[in-house]
Structure 1
Amino acid sequence: MIKQQQIKQALVAWLNETDILMNEPIAHHTYTKLGGDADVFVFPRTIEEVKAVISYCSKESLPFTLLGNGSNVIVRDGGIRGVVMSLKHLDKINHTGMLVTAEAGARIIDASIYAHDQSLSGLEFACGIPGTVGGALFMNAGAYGGEVKDCLLDAVVVTADAKVKTISSEDLALGYRTSNIKDEGYIVLAARFQLEAANSNEIKAKMDDLTLRRESKQPLEYPSCGSVFKRPPGHFAGQLIQESGLQGKGIGGAEVSTKHAGFIVNKADATAADYINVIKMVQREVKEKFGVELEREVRIIGEA
């Protein structure tokens, strides 16, 4: 393995030195406030810089991880080896007619707000989703009856061999909390959403209603990764967890939320191991009580 300082020395050929962090605590970049250190954490500012990092990692056979807003991921306590990339500087949003284009590092919430400001409807469902646009495409994020695939036209991606391509929504195989982005080795750079003209007051009223519902039901006062489990066919994960008597139960500093059973919160300096063990406990108890396998929506990455 190439040493960290060698990686940094190579990357400064393309990136600002201040955009390359060594042994960076990933807990600073995740909603759960969990995770060990990244060997090298980079924050490119242009597409060319993104391509340069990908090409370098491929050439040197370095482990590479793309981290979005850290809202739907658990990073294990051992951290992540190799190079971790954030696209937070690629966050521009604009529109032409009824097409809104958002770069991958923009928050999907901000894309929703921008659409409202242009009197464009179709992204209201995303007004409370904390992830980035890239992350929203990666998992076909959704809430309150809407999801990314409902309005996504296409995406600009970098392929595994550092080529930039535009991929149609249909070719991203968007399903329930899934896509083929990981399998194809794509890194999303931007997305185009096909929206509809509507009254801005009506759009705002819908967004306000969804925000109120979210704030009244979700434990936003504690760090968490949001909804942990996918909806099992014919059931609701939160209801099964609640009826299993698991709310308030936990391991270490992590516990099942008493406000919303579908959430696991970092109540008191939890470790990633605590959090993951609570997930396993919930899956085991629900399986024993109801015979239902709960599948994780949240991703778990990194070293134990």
Structure 2
Amino acid sequence: MLRRLRRRTAHGGRSRRRGDLFVRARAGRHSRGCEGARLARRRRVRRRRRSRSPRAGGPRPLRRSRARARGRRHPSRGHPAPRASARAGRGLTIATFGARDVPLAPHTSLRIGGPADFFLRVATEKDLLGAIQVARENELPVFVLGGGTNLLVADRGIRGVVLQNAFRESSVDGEIVTASSGTELAHVAAVAARSGIEGLEWMATVPGTVGGAVHGNAGAFGSETADVLVNAELVDMNGDRWTAKVEELGYAYRTSTLQGTPIVCVRARFRGRGGDRANAVKRIKEMANERIKKQPLAQPNTGSIFRNPPGDFAGRLIEAAGLKGRAIGGAMVSPKHANFIVNANGATASDVHALMTLVQREVAKRFNVKLVPEVELVGEW
């Protein structure tokens, strides 16, 4: 894992590979031993050369010919040995830290989003924590991208590092299901059902990951994350880690105190209840079928756009305002479910945002209700 990054000097040019960053060589025992061995070899070579030097006035020794047949390669690898770079002599190596200027649209459920300065996919806990450390040491902001749902990424993209969290693992201990932050909620529900654990079936209908659910208190069918979460392992940009109990996370409807902070969820533990495997699987199928009937899953969307106001439903208010099918650019209020905005025809983030503003204005005018976005706007607006 990368240890330290050194910024380009003010007079230095841009790296040929846009994803390359200077990384300080690790100062471990192995590297120090290798360096000592190299110095020892150099001293021995210099002594041999001095011992072979001709006496004053004597004949010059014959030089060994180093000529090779034309077209021959290095005997050991079939290629000439690479010449060491000048940077390597200064204790630096070059390492690739993700990719540069990667469009985020393919990584979001709405298929909208500008480029990330750095885009890096992490699949293990070590990679996740190491990437956070590298970003911190370079003073780069970090945004962790899970399933790409419940997000509206700006057309201008996200500055800093976007970590696509593919860290997926899960385990069961009694009625507790432990899952890493990149694990899909649907997988958590399936693991619980196979183990005869009930109470987590609703997770199968939420298109997101554990990390997103912990941050946003995701929920469906009358249940939410705060109802089943035991605790969550968290890490901040300084690398400090701790475990927070559910009551410490300030949960409310579709929000928590983690939102708007650089704190990252590493894994979480959920409590179900002992039950019957067949009943859990049956309940998952029933919920999934109901979701298919009511939601526009055939078109790119980001889930519910607005939170339900107290005592009412955002979808009912939007439909009553006559906004089903209303469109701005390529964004449209779904004719199937009014609390969904779909990417009907090459929509931009600006199209979706403008349509959200129109819906809020019309609902407020008709019903004197202020709709609060459930979708999170991220990036450079």
TM-score by length of 2: 0.75
Using the TM superposition, give the Cα deviation of residue 184 of structure 1 relative to its aligned residue in structure 2, in angstroms: 5.2
Task: Map 1:48-67 onto structure 2 (within 5 A).
Answer: 48-67=126-145
**Ranges in structure 2 where 5+ consecutive residues have no aligned partner:** 1-6, 9-13, 27-94
AA aligned to 2:153 is V
Using the TM superposition, give the Cα deviation of residue 11 of structure 1 relative to its aligned residue in structure 2, in angstroms: 7.1
State the match for 1:32 in structure 2.
110
| Among 220, 239, 245, the residue aligned to 1:168 | 245
Q: SS of the counterpart of 2:323?
A: coil
AA aligned to 2:363 is V
What is the CA–CA distance in structure 2 between the aligned matches of 1:87 and 1:189, rounded to whole Å? 10
Using the TM superposition, give the Cα deviation of residue 10 of structure 1 relative to its aligned residue in structure 2, in angstroms: 4.6
If you compute each CA radius of gyration, which structure gives the higher value, 1 or 2? 2
What is the CA–CA distance in structure 2 between the aligned matches of 1:143 and 1:49, rounded to whole Å? 31
Contact 1:159-1:165 within 8 A present in 2 as well? no
Deviations 1:203-241 (A, max 9, x none): 122212111110000000100011000011122100000
| Among 285, 292, 296, the residue aligned to 2:369 | 292
Q: SS of the counterpart of 2:259?
A: helix
In the alignment, does 2:200 pair up with 1:123?
Answer: yes
- Which stretch shifts more, 202-211 or 245-254? 202-211
In the alignment, does 2:147 pair up with 1:69?
Answer: yes
Task: Map 1:236-251 onto structure 2 (within 5 A).
Answer: 236-251=313-328
State the match for 1:95 in structure 2.
172
State the match for 2:349 in structure 1.
272
Q: Percent identity?
A: 37
Using the TM superposition, give the Cα deviation of residue 133 of structure 1 relative to its aligned residue in structure 2, in angstroms: 0.6
Q: SS of the counterpart of 1:95?
A: strand
| Among 7, 21, 27, the residue aligned to 1:9 | 21
Contact 2:18-2:99 within 8 A present in 1 as well? no
State the match for 1:22 in structure 2.
100
What is the CA–CA distance in structure 1 between the aligned matches of 2:151 and 2:372, rounded to whole Å? 14
What is the CA–CA distance in structure 1 between the aligned matches of 2:24 and 2:319, rounded to whole Å? 51
TM-score by length of 1: 0.93
Contact 1:157-1:187 within 8 A present in 2 as well? yes
Deviations 1:130-178 (A, max 9, x none): 1011001111100011111111111111123112211111111222101
In the alignment, does 2:96 pair up with 1:84?
Answer: no
Contact 2:170-2:178 within 8 A present in 1 as well? yes
- Which stretch shifts more, 1-10 or 146-155? 1-10
In structure 2, relative to structure 1, the CA distance for the partners of 1:256 and 1:194 (3 Å cut) is: same
Using the TM superposition, give the Cα deviation of residue 182 of structure 1 relative to its aligned residue in structure 2, in angstroms: 3.1
AA aligned to 2:125 is I
What is the CA–CA distance in structure 2 between the aligned matches of 1:12 and 1:73, rounded to whole Å? 36
Using the TM superposition, give the Cα deviation of residue 250 of structure 1 relative to its aligned residue in structure 2, in angstroms: 0.7
Using the TM superposition, give the Cα deviation of residue 81 of structure 1 relative to its aligned residue in structure 2, in angstroms: 1.2
Cα RMSD of the aligned pairs, angstroms, is 2.1
Using the TM superposition, give the Cα deviation of residue 264 of structure 1 relative to its aligned residue in structure 2, in angstroms: 0.5
In structure 2, relative to structure 1, the CA distance for the partners of 1:19 and 1:208 (3 Å cut) is: farther
- Point out which structure has higher relative CO (alpha carbons under 8 A, 6+ apart): 1
What is the CA–CA distance in structure 2 between the aligned matches of 1:185 and 1:303, rounded to whole Å? 16
